[in-house]
Structure 1
Amino acid sequence: MRFLINEIIKLYKWRYFPFVVFTLGMLLFHSTIKLGWGDDHEYLMVLNKSNLNVMPFIIHRYFNWSSRVIIEPFLIKLVHFQWLWRILDTAVMVIMSVSISKLIPSSDIRRSNWIIAGIIFIYPISHMSTAGWIATTMNYSWPLAFGLFSMIPIKKILFDEKIKSFEYIFYITALLFALNQEQMCAIVLSVYLVFTIYLIIKKRPNLFMFVQSILGIASIIFILTCPGNYVRKISEVKRWFPEYPNMSLLRKIEMGYSSSLFQFIINPNIIFTLFSGLLLICMIITNKKGLYKVMAAVPFATSIIFGYLGGLLVEVLPIVDFVKNSMTEFGTGIEIFSVTSWLPDVIITFSLVSVLFSLYVIFENKKYSMLSIFIVLLGFGSRIIMAFSPTIWASSLRTFIFMYFAFIICSVILFQVILDSKLKKYIMLSTSVIGFFAGLEYLKLFA
C-alpha cells in the first residue's frame, strides 16, 4: 500500500503530470463527439464505391482537387474506424502539448506544463469540427502537431543536445506529414530556412537542418505545381466567391490582413485577451518605461473594448459600432478617399505594432524577443496567405488554428518571464484562472 501511495506521489510530482491530466480530459471530450457528418461522410463513401480503392482516388484528387496526397490516404482509412480516431486525435493533441513544452526552455518545467495544458484547453476546439471532426483535425490540427514535433531537433541542435539516431526517422516522418498542408508547409519551411541560415552565419552548419529545408522547398514546389489545386481554385471561385477574380492584389492582401486581425483584436477572443494581458503584466513587472506600459496596454484594452464590451458600448460610442461592423466579404471596405473607412485598419494595425514592439522590449535577451516576434508573424502570415484562396470565407474558422497557436506559444514564453520574477507565487492563481476558462470552453461543447 505504501509503495502504491509513493508511486502516486511520484506521478503527481512528475514534470509531465499536467499532460496526464490533459490526456484524460481529451479522452473524455473525444468520447462525446458526434462523428460521421460533413466531409467525414464524403470520405466514408470513397471505399464504399465499386472497385475504387485508395490510390486511384488519390491520383484523381491530385489531378483534379488537392495536393494532400499524404494526408488523405490516412483520412480515407480512418473515417471507417471512428474509435481509433478518438484515440489518435487525443494522442495528437498530447504530442502538440509536449512539443511546445520541449521547444520552450523553462526554469520550472512542471508549472510551465500546467500552463501549456490549460491554455490549449482554452483553444476553441469546436473550430476543428467545421468540415467534420475527422477531416478537419487531420488537415489542420494534425499537421500543426507534427509540424511542432518536427521542430524539436532545431532546439536540440541550437542547444547542443544529443539527437539519437532513431529520432531522425520520427522527425522526418512528422515533417513530411506537416508539409502536406499548405499553411503548415509555409510555416515549417520558413522556420527551417531561417534557422539553417542562422547556423550557417554562426559557422555551425548542420546537415540534418539542410535536408529538412530541402524537403520543405520540394514540398512547396509540389503544392504550387499540383494541377488539382488549380482546378479546385476555379471550381471554388464559382461556388464560393464569384467576385474573387476581379479583386486587385492589394484588395486581396487587405482582405487577408484585416480578416485575420479582426478575429483576434475586434471579435471576442479569449486566447488573444489572455496573451495581451500577459504582455501587459510582463511589461509592468520588468519595470519598463511608462510609455512602454501604455503601448503594451493597447492590445489588451482594444480586445476588451471592442471584443467584450462592444455590445454595451455601441450606443454610447458610435465608433465601436462602426468598427465592429466594418468587415465585409472584401475586407474592411476601405475607400481611398474616405479617411473614416481606414479607421478599422488603423486600429488593428496599431494593436499589432504594439504587440510586436512590446515583445521586443520585454525580453532582456533579444534572441527571445526576435523569436517571439517571428512566431507571431508566422502565425499571422499563415492566415494572410488565405487571401490568395477563394475559400478564405468558406473555410471558416479552421484556418485560424496556426495563428491561434502562435499566440498560445508566445503566451507560454511570456509566462517564463513571470516564472522568473517575484510574482512567481501568483502563478498557481493564474493557472486556476486559465483552468476556469478552459472548463467554460468545454462546457459549451458538452451543452
Structure 2
Amino acid sequence: MSANDKMRNAMVLFVITLLIAIGMRVELQNFADDFIFSHALDHTSLHDYMIKRYQGWSGRFTLDALMVSTINYHIVWKIGIPASLLILCASVSKIISGKVNLALTTAFLCLFMLIPFSINENAAWWVTGFYNYLLPVSMLSYSMSVFLKTGKVNFSEGFAAVISLSISCFNEQTAFFTLAVTIIAIAINKLYRRKFSYIYLLFSLINSALLFLSPGNFIRAEKESWRWLPGFKEMPLLNKLTFGFDRIHQTVVMHDGVIFGIICVLSLIIIRKFSQKSKISLFFSSVLVIHLILMLIKHFHLADLGVAFYNEEYLNAQRWISYSRYLSYLFSLLVIFSVFYAMAIATVQRNTIAKPMIALLIGYATIAMLSFSPTVFASWMRVLFFWEVIAATACLWIYYEFLRDDESRNTWILAGLMLAAAMSF
C-alpha cells in the first residue's frame, strides 16, 4: 500500500470516527429552548402552532416546523447533526476545487472543530442551535456549491439546490448572504447570467421575503427590546452601530480565535510573497504581527491587557466610557483592513480569491446586521457561527490556491489538523 493510500484511508477513518462520535455525544437538554420546543406540540397541532408562531414571534417558518415536529425523535438530530456537518465540509471542498475532494473535506472538518467551543456549543452541538444555525448553513453551502458552478447545472442538482433554499433562507444571516452573493455573481460575471441563476434568485427572494416580512418579527422585536435593551428603538443610530461593531470586534480578539489567527498568518505570507516592498505593505504587515503577538499574550495569559482593550466580553457601561475600548476597536479595524489588503493582493495573482474575499466581507455584514436587533447580545456566541464558517472556508481556499504544491507539507499540515481536531473534541 502506497503512502497516498495510507493517508487516504486515514482520512476516511478519521472523518467517519469523528462524525459518529459527534452523533453519539450530542444530547437533548431538559431545560431552556430544548425543553420548550420538545413540548411545543403537547396541546396543539403543528398547523396551529406554526400559524401562531409566524404571526406572533418568528419568521423562521420551515426551521421552526422541522424543529418542533422532529426534536422528540432523537435519531433525527443524532444523525442530522453529523450529516449536516458532512454536507457542509463536502460542499465547501466542491466550492473551492470544483469537485468533492477528500483532503479538503477532511481539512475543513478539522478547521470546523477549531471554531471556538463557545460558538459551536451554541450553534452546532446544541440541538435547538443545530436546527437554527448548522442546518441552514449546511444547506446554504450545498446550494452555493451548485450555484457557483460555471458549467451547466443538471436538473437533479439544480432542483436539490433550489429546494435547499427553503431551509437556508429561513435564517436571517444565511438569507442575507444568499441574496447578496447571488446578486453580485449575476451582476459581475456573465457566466452566472443563465436560466438557473435567475430561478435560484427568484426562490431566494421569495423565501427571504417570507422570513423578513413575518408579522411575528416586529412583535418579537418590540418585546425583546424591553427584555434585553430597554429604549433600543429610540437609541441614536451611532449607538446601535457600536453594538454591532462590538460583535465584529469580538471576531478579532477572541482568545481562542484560531481560525482568524490562521487567516492572519496566511495574510502575512501573501503580503511577503506577492506584495512589492512599500510603506503600506510594511504597515499592514506590522499590524498583523502586533495582533498575533497580542493574541499569544492573551491565549497564554502572559500579561493582563485590561477589562476593555482586546477584551472579548460584551460592551457594558464600564467599557462604553473606556478610551482603551475604542482604541481596541480602531486597532481591530486595522487588522481587518490588513486581511482584506492581503486578499486583494492575492486576487491580483488568482482572481478566484475574489470569491472568499467577497464572502468574508458579506460575512462581516451579517454581523453588522445585528446592530438593528435588540438581541445583539442576547443571541450569545451563535450569531458568530456563520462568520466562522466563512472564515474557515477562506483559510482553506487561500491555502489551496497558493500553498498546495508541496505534497509533503500538505500531509504534515493535514496530520497536524487532524490531531488538533481530535484533541479539541
Specify if TM > 0.5: yes
Question: Aligned runs of 1:154-303 on 2, under 5 Å?
Answer: 154-156=147-149, 158=150, 160=151, 162-199=152-189, 202=190, 205-265=193-253, 267-286=255-274, 288-289=276-277, 292=281, 295-296=284-285, 298-299=287-288, 301-303=290-292
Separation in 2, partners of 1:392, 1:270: 23
Q: What is the match of residue 328 of structure 2?
A: 344
Contact 1:257 1:384 in 2 (8 A): yes
Match of 1:124 in 2: 116
Distance 1:371 1:312 in 2: 37
Q: Where does residue 73 of structure 1 map in the other structure?
A: 65
Offset at residue 65 of structure 1 (A): 0.4
- CA distance in 2 between partners of 1:331 and 1:107 (Å): 50
2:68 pairs with 1:85: no
> Which residue among 309, 312, 336 is the counterpart of 1:323?
309
Task: Identify which range, 245-254 or 354-363, moves more after superposition.
Answer: 245-254
Residues 134-145 of structure 1: pairs in structure 2 closer than 5 A: 134-145=127-138
Structure 2 match to 1:309: 298
Q: 2:94 aligns with which of 93, 102, 105?
A: 102
Q: What corresponds to 1:402 in structure 2?
A: 386
Q: How does 1:410-429 map to 2 (within 5 A)?
A: 410-421=394-405, 423-429=406-412
Which residue identity lines up with residue 258 of structure 1 in the other structure? D
Instruction: Tell me the TM-score normalised to structure 2 length.
Output: 0.89
Question: Which moved further from structure 2: 265-274 or 73-82?
Answer: 265-274
1:431 is the counterpart of 2:414: yes
CA distance in 2, matches of 1:228, 1:103: 35
Name the CA distance, whole Å, in 1 between partners of 2:365 and 2:192: 28
The one-letter code matched in structure 1 to 2:135 is W
Query: 1:372 offset after TM fit, Å?
Result: 2.5
SS at match of 1:396: coil
Q: Which residue of 1 aligns with 2:51?
A: 59
Distance 1:324 1:295, change over 3 A: closer
| SS of residue in 2 equivalent to 1:59 | helix
Structure 1 residue 227: Cα displacement: 0.9
Structure 1 Cα separation of the partners of residues 261 and 311 of structure 2: 20
Distance 1:24 1:74, change over 3 A: same
Relative distance call for 1:212 and 1:108 in structure 2 (3 A) is closer
* Aligned equivalent of 1:445: none
Cα drift, residue 27 of structure 1: 1.5
Specify every segment of 5 or more residues in structure 1 that has no aligned partner in the other structure, as ranges. Answer: 443-447
Asked if 1:47 corresponds to 2:41, the answer is yes
User: SS in structure 1 opposite 2:25?
Assistant: coil
In 1, are the aligned partners of 2:95 and 2:145 still within 8 Å (CA)?
yes
Moved more, 268-277 or 225-234: 268-277
* Distance in 2 (alpha carbons) for counterparts of 1:434 and 1:299: 23
Distance change in 2, residues 1:106/1:73 (3 Å): closer
Q: CA RMSD in A?
A: 3.1
Cα shift at 1:230: 0.7
Helix, strand or coil: the match of 2:157? helix
- The whole-number CA distance in structure 2 between the counterparts of 1:147 and 1:326 is 28
- Kept in 2, the 8 Å contact 1:258–1:331? The answer is no
Q: Distance in 1 between matches of 2:112 and 2:224?
A: 32
Cα pair 2:284 2:338 within 8 Å, conserved: yes
Q: Could you state the TM-score of these two structures normalised by the residue count of structure 1?
A: 0.84
Aligned-partner residue type, residue 60 of structure 2: R
Give the Cα separation in 2 of the matches to 1:164 and 1:54.
Answer: 35
CA separation of 1:308 and 1:86: change in aligned 2, threshold 3 A: farther
How far apart are residue 393 of structure 1 and its match? 1.0
C-alpha contact (below 8 Å) 1:19/1:97 kept by paired residues: no
Q: Which amino acid aligns with 1:43?
A: F
1:360-392 Cα shifts (integer Å, max 9, x gaps)? 113444523422320111111111111211111
Q: Deviation digits for residues 378-428 of structure 1, max 9, x if unmatched?
A: 11111111121111111111110111011101001111144345x553222
DSSP 3-state at the match of 1:34: coil
Q: Which amino acid aligns with 1:390?
A: P
**In structure 2, what is the Cα distance between the partners aligned to 1:92 and 1:366?**
31
Structure 1 segment 385-400 matched on structure 2, within 5 A = 385-400=369-384
Deviation at 1:351, TM superposition (A): 0.5
Cα deviation digits, residues 237-282 of structure 1 (max 9, x gap): 1222214234211211122113222233354311111221222234
How far residue 286 of structure 1 moved from its aligned partner, in angstroms, is 4.3
Q: 1:241 & 1:429 partners in 2: Cα distance?
A: 49
* Cα distance in 2 for residues equivalent to 1:334 and 1:349: 17
Whole-angstrom CA distance in 2 between matches of 1:377 and 1:167: 28
Deviations 1:21-70 (A, max 9, x none): 32320221220223133311111112222xx1111000000111001111
User: Whole-Å Cα distance in 1 between the matches of residues 139 and 6 of structure 2?
Assistant: 27
